[in-house]
Amino acid sequence: MHWLESSRRSFLKQLGAAGALALSASGSSADALSTGAAQASPSASDEKQADTRAQRMAWWHQAKFGMFIHWGLYSVIGQHEWAMEVEGVPIPQYELLAKNFKPRPNAARDWARLAKRAGQKYMVMTTKHHEGFCHWDTKLTDYCAPKQGPGRDLVREFVDAAREEGLRVGFYYSLMDWHHPDGARCKTDEAARKRFVEYTHGLIRELMTNYGKIDVLWYDVDWPLTPEQWESERMNQMVFELQPDIIVNNRNGLEGDFSTPEQEIRAAASGRAWETCMTLNDSWGFNRYDDAWKTPKTIVDNLATCARGGGNYLLNIGPMPDGSIPPESVTVLEAVGKWLDTNGTSIYGTDRGNFSWNTNANYTRRGNTLYIHQHFWPGHTPAAEWLSFYQPEAVIAIGGLKPKALSAKLLKTGQPIKFTQDEFRLRLTGLPVQAPDQPATVIAVECDGEPVIDHEANRPLWPRYKVGIS
């Protein structure tokens, strides 16, 4: 991450924004999974939600992969969704964007079709971002899509499009509001706070009432109020009364159903659900000149890293003002979807695993099956050709795998793979020199118990060659 991103993050942190909980920003899959992310203490409504959590979240744990969509007036500027604040745009000027925001009809259909092709199972769209513009037909403000440039309800289009593709529907909602007159003064003026909280709860009520069954409510930045001042418990109670099967995140200051590490992959403590949200380049909203696109390899690896930690991956697109998806995003997502078509078994519905790091491979598991995601294929070393034991084959060795492997196959084709196993490692042999699949080749290894990989466990075994023993 470049310094701007991190300075924005420290700014958010100073503001006490819940969104800034995850601070070590990085899009890299090399991020180690760590446990014990900070959590707020459970509230009464949290405890009530806990009773139904497993059942409400079952589909989400299976799903693993979702599409985040950041789309708003900021897309018209095309310089990241924080442009209003970062560039200090005066409100009357910013409001002109609302008049000039004229997306083509049903752009959301293309998003939903792309999500489907990409293997994503749910979509979360910004219904109102920090800029305060509402994408739906609200009775509470004129600063909304039907009464401005678009002339229609964009949330309705989104919901219909997602449902048409059989995808689950999520609403992102920013509590922080730079446009509303009470959005900042609510911190110091009690009358303004009351008005603004009623406005906020009223908007959320509309979203939870007018669009049928909603699967995810994704709160964001709770600046400038505390959970008590937002009346977050009452907020969640209303949400669950209107949508008993919904799941909510933790960014209205309460624990909610899941944690939301941002731009980093950080597993919550075992038993706590989590979802990493991440950009495809470095921006959430459309940013015309941001060319820092992640590759399909990185995305597949990140998805596997989330899955191995028992988490989900919510990957963002930032559509252009007319609603079209930047072509680079389409290319990457289609490549990921193609890979998932034949390798999805190694991701969807997998269980949290306990595996050492490996630069060349990632691991996931389902029950007793280990999935080795080999993203850097070993090939063979040129030097091997000089050696008498040279074989035109690749070998993959995994140090510290327990327990016993029973069978191994290429996931994509089902082709069996030969192997040997001793106390130190599993060796998969007779593999082709060229990687059979891209961006990662998945090998499924059936074991006679839960597969665990701990290459450190080999350390005490090294003196077997009497090295260092006099």
Please report, as ranges, the residues that interact with ligand GLC according to CB under 6 A: 19, 70, 81-82, 220-221, 262, 277, 284
Output the smallest distance, CB 21 to ligand GLC, in A. Answer: 10
Q: Which residues contact residue 56 at a Cβ distance below 8 angstroms, ignoring those fewer than 6 apart?
A: 245, 246, 247, 257
Output the smallest distance, CB 221 to ligand GLC, in A. Answer: 5
Residue nearest to ligand GLC (CB): 19
User: Among candidates 126, 130, 236, which has minimal Cα distance to 176?
Assistant: 130
Output the smallest distance, CB 274 to ligand GLC, in A. Answer: 13
Output the smallest distance, CB 28 to ligand GLC, in A. Answer: 18
Residue closer to ligand GLC (CB basis): 153 or 220: 220
- Please say whether the beta carbons of 167 and 123 come within 8 A: yes
Neighbours of 463 (CB within 10 A): 10
CA of residue 133 relative to chain centroid, distance: 24
d(CA 446, CA 67): 31
Residue closer to ligand GLC (CB basis): 21 or 115: 21
Residue closer to ligand GLC (CB basis): 175 or 186: 175
Q: Could you tell me the end-to-end alpha-carbon distance of the chain, in angstroms, rounded to an integer? A: 50
Residue closer to ligand GLC (CB basis): 314 or 335: 314
Residue closer to ligand GLC (CB basis): 19 or 256: 19
Amino acid symbol at 289:
Y
Q: Is 136 helix (H, G, I), strand (E, B) or coil?
A: coil
Q: What is the DSSP string of 415-431?
A: -B-EEEE-SSEEEEEEE
Residue closer to ligand GLC (CB basis): 70 or 121: 70
Q: What residues form DSSP beta bridges with 405? A: 447
Residue closer to ligand GLC (CB basis): 82 or 339: 82
- Please say whether the beta carbons of 273 and 265 come within 8 A: no
Residue closer to ligand GLC (CB basis): 115 or 176: 176
- CA dihedral (7, 8, 10, 14) in degrees, to 10, reads 140
Q: Which residues contact residue 122 at a Cβ distance below 8 angstroms, ignoring those fewer than 6 apart?
A: 60, 63, 66, 67, 162, 167, 168, 169, 170, 215, 216
Assigned token pair, 299 = 């995305």
Q: Which residues contact residue 53 at a Cβ distance below 8 angstroms, ignoring those fewer than 6 apart?
A: 247, 257, 273
Residue closer to ligand GLC (CB basis): 37 or 397: 37
Output the smallest distance, CB 13 to ligand GLC, in A. Answer: 11
Output the smallest distance, CB 83 to ligand GLC, in A. Answer: 11
Q: Is 398 helix (H, G, I), strand (E, B) or coil?
A: strand
Output the smallest distance, CB 277 to ligand GLC, in A. Answer: 5
